[in-house]
Amino acid sequence: MVCWDGSCSCAEASCTVRCSQCRSITKKHLQNELCSENMFGSTVKVENYRTENLSGWEYFIIEISLKHWKQNVKTTVQMPERIEVLLRTCNIRCPEPKIGEVYYFSGNINGIVVDFNTKMHYVLRDDDRWELANEECGHLFSYLITSGPCST
């Protein structure tokens, strides 16, 4: 369990966040993923990060700004400006973030935790995506930005 000012999130023993796995993803697969209930996808920029030990586990605490946002129509969360993302360092496919890097970030909206100061937090879990913007992952960004809304 990881807690902030007045809010907590289950910090699962999750070492299988999907990083460096975008090569085999098709547009159809990504569309199904993004349009699943309570799912979101976004492009984000790393503004700052640090390494911290929380509840006995080591995390990258990553401050991100959001650039693009897509979600299914059943959900009413508006695109936040910033989120603090927690990524366990045991995710060996996920490289250490660098300030200024751009990522494709997707997950479940129900995982967003808002503290008493209205700051948003998200603990990356199994099946979430955290993909560095590079040539192999360009199609993720292209689809996110150019696709229409999810059908109902």
Domain 2-146, CATH 2.40.128.130 — does that match? Answer: no
What residue ranges do the domains of the chain occupy?
2-146
- Chain segment 121-134, per-residue pLDDT in tens: 999 988 899 999 99
**pLDDT for residue 50:** 97
Q: By three-state DSSP, how is residue 85 classified?
A: strand
Between β-strands 57-71 and 82-88, what pairing exists: parallel, antiparallel or unpaired?
antiparallel
**pLDDT for residue 116:** 83
Residue 74, pLDDT above cutoff 70: no
**pLDDT for residue 87:** 94
Q: Sign of the C-alpha dihedral, residues 10, 20, 66, 26? A: negative
How far apart are alpha carbons 144 and 139 in whole angstroms? 8
Whole-prediction pTM value? 0.88
Is pLDDT larger for residue 94 or for residue 10?
A: 94
Q: Which contiguous run of DSSP H or E holds residue 63?
A: strand 57-71
Residue 91, pLDDT above cutoff 60: yes
